Amino acid sequence: MAEFTGERIIPGQVDVDLLNEHLARYTFAARLARGKRVLDAGCGAGYGSAELAHAADRVVGIDCAAEAIEFARANYPLPNLQFEQASCTDLPQADGSFDLVVAFEVIEHLEQWREFLLQVRRVLAANGQFIVSTPNKLYYTESRGREGTNPFHVHEFDFEEFRGELRSVFPYVSMFLENHVEGVTFQPDEAGNTVEVRVEPGDPNPNDSHFFVAVCAHRPQLGNPTFVYVPRAANVLRERERHIGLLERELATKNEWLQKALDEHQLLMAKFGEQKEALERSNRWAESLTRDLEERGARVVGLQEEMAREQEAAQRVADGYAAKVRDLEEDIRAKTKWALDVETSLTAEVQKQTGQLFAAVEALHHTEKELEERTAWALRSQQEANDMAQQMALVRTSRWMKLGRKIGLGPAVPLG
């Protein structure tokens, strides 16, 4: 089953006044549909196509929504009425195949609405007519109020723009202003054959109109009478009473919801009080912390200034040290040169003294060798003297020497 979205009208699912508002346009068009080939572009649920089929020779209803076409086929099976799924900006019908094309509350939904107008001009016969409606942008925006723009509408028109765009495609355009007005009817209890309608004269104001309806054609059109549609459910007082009853039930439901909301609001206010008190404590703590941070910030500023002064003093000391380092480096370079000169001189002197030292060492080695040889000779001589002394001692103490001395014989040997 098709669903009422607020944009697609489903009979039996919408307020009767809203349905009558849409049926009125089809009733307006049905006067021009007698015996003609009719295309209902954007037919929706199909109720309007069925209204046109009562007067037309043949009606084709097209819509891009598959569920809408399915609903229309199931609910309006008429022999001269067929429904097709198709796009309004790419009509599948042949050129000049319709005497009347209607498109009610469709153009504002199309991004390529200019292409749609060109497609209608293509399929329209040379003597055909195109009836198109759209809501008044000025009134519609004001009536929606805080609800904001309609999410289903791509482009809305004011009166001058709508008429100008239509005239750029169709040479002849007759504009009508559609308004849902209050009226009073006097009907005989027995059906009559005539209807008299009186519309109070007055200058029409397009800016205050609810909807714009245009009848477009390739050729001049005759007459533009005021059309009044009085639906069967036109007892306004009865409808108001029913509407008031619905509003009262809705109001009771809203009151229950409001009471529930008030109870929830009280709970929320209590929680809000607790949160507010906690927030105030947090704010006081934050203020204390802020003061502490400000004091510390001031101390940081002082330390930064002190550090800057110390850095300046350190820089001056560093500059002094740098000057001293430069002087020391210069002195070191001078002393290094002197040391290198002295080293060169000493190296030459050492080399000279080294040559003399080598000669002296060589003489000393010779002397040491000669001394060693003489010492060895002296030791041998000493040893020989010691040996001779021992032999002399033996000789002196021998009995033969003693006997020789007594008899006056033998060599004269010192007695020691």
Q: How many helices (H) and strands (E) does the chain have?
A: 8, 7
The answer to whether residue 31 is domain-embedded is yes
pLDDT of residue 225: 79
Average pLDDT value over all residues in the chain: 83
Whole-number Å distance between alpha carbons of 27 and 187: 20
Confidence of residue 293 (pLDDT cuts 50, 70, 90): confident
User: Can you say how many angstroms the Cα of residue 106 is from the centroid of all Cα atoms in its chain?
Assistant: 35
Q: Is the pTM of this model over 0.85?
A: no
pLDDT of residue 65: 92
The answer to whether residue 34 is domain-embedded is yes
Distances (CA, A) of 365 to 356, 377, 379, 384: 14, 18, 21, 28
Residue 388 has pLDDT above 60, yes or no: yes
For residues 243 and 43, which has the higher predicted lDDT (pLDDT)? 43
pLDDT of residue 2: 47
Phi-psi region of 368 (alpha: psi -120 to 50; beta: other; left: phi over 0): alpha
pLDDT of residue 97: 97
Number of domains in the chain: 1
Q: What is the DSSP letter of 157?
A: B
For residues 397 and 7, which has the higher predicted lDDT (pLDDT)? 397
The answer to whether residue 177 is domain-embedded is yes
pLDDT of residue 351: 81
Whole-number Å distance between alpha carbons of 156 and 154: 7
Alpha helices, DSSP H, located in 104-223: 113-123, 137-144, 159-167
Residue 235 has pLDDT above 60, yes or no: no
Residue 16 has pLDDT above 60, yes or no: no
Average pLDDT rounded to a whole number, residues 188-197? 74
pLDDT of residue 32: 94
The count of C-alpha atoms lying within 13 angstroms of the C-alpha of 374, restricted to the half-sphere facing its C-beta, is 6
163 Cβ contact partners less than 8 Å away, ≥ 6 residues apart: 173, 175, 212, 214
The answer to whether residue 92 is domain-embedded is yes
Most confident of 19-28, 137-146, 279-288, 354-363: 279-288
pLDDT of residue 1: 45
Q: Which of the residue ranges 248-252, 286-290, 334-338 would you say has the lowest mean pLDDT?
A: 248-252
- Beta strands 124-135 and 211-217 are antiparallel
Distances (CA, A) of 356 to 106, 184, 341, 360, 361: 130, 155, 23, 6, 9
Average pLDDT rounded to a whole number, residues 89-95? 95
Average pLDDT rounded to a whole number, residues 145-168? 84
Q: Which of the residue ranges 50-54, 194-198, 200-204, 234-238 would you say has the lowest mean pLDDT?
A: 234-238
The answer to whether residue 41 is domain-embedded is yes
Residue 101 has pLDDT above 90, yes or no: yes
- Quote the domain boundaries for residue 179: 16-184+202-232
pLDDT of residue 115: 97
For residues 8 and 90, which has the higher predicted lDDT (pLDDT)? 90
The answer to whether residue 310 is domain-embedded is no
Tokens describing residue 154: 């791509």
The answer to whether residue 8 is domain-embedded is no
Contact present, 245 and 37 (Cβ < 8 Å): no
pLDDT of residue 331: 84
pLDDT of residue 3: 45
230 Cβ contact partners less than 8 Å away, ≥ 6 residues apart: 183, 185
pLDDT of residue 46: 93
Average pLDDT rounded to a whole number, residues 227-242? 60
Residue 396 has pLDDT above 60, yes or no: yes
Contact present, 28 and 55 (Cβ < 8 Å): no
Average pLDDT rounded to a whole number, residues 289-306? 87
The answer to whether residue 191 is domain-embedded is no
CATH code for position 222: 3.40.50.150
Residue % of the chain over a pLDDT of 90: 34
Average pLDDT rounded to a whole number, residues 239-268? 72
Average pLDDT rounded to a whole number, residues 349-356? 79
Residue 361 has pLDDT above 70, yes or no: yes
pLDDT of residue 4: 39
By three-state DSSP, how is residue 373 classified? Answer: helix
Confidence of residue 147 (pLDDT cuts 50, 70, 90): low
pLDDT of residue 6: 47
pLDDT of residue 117: 97
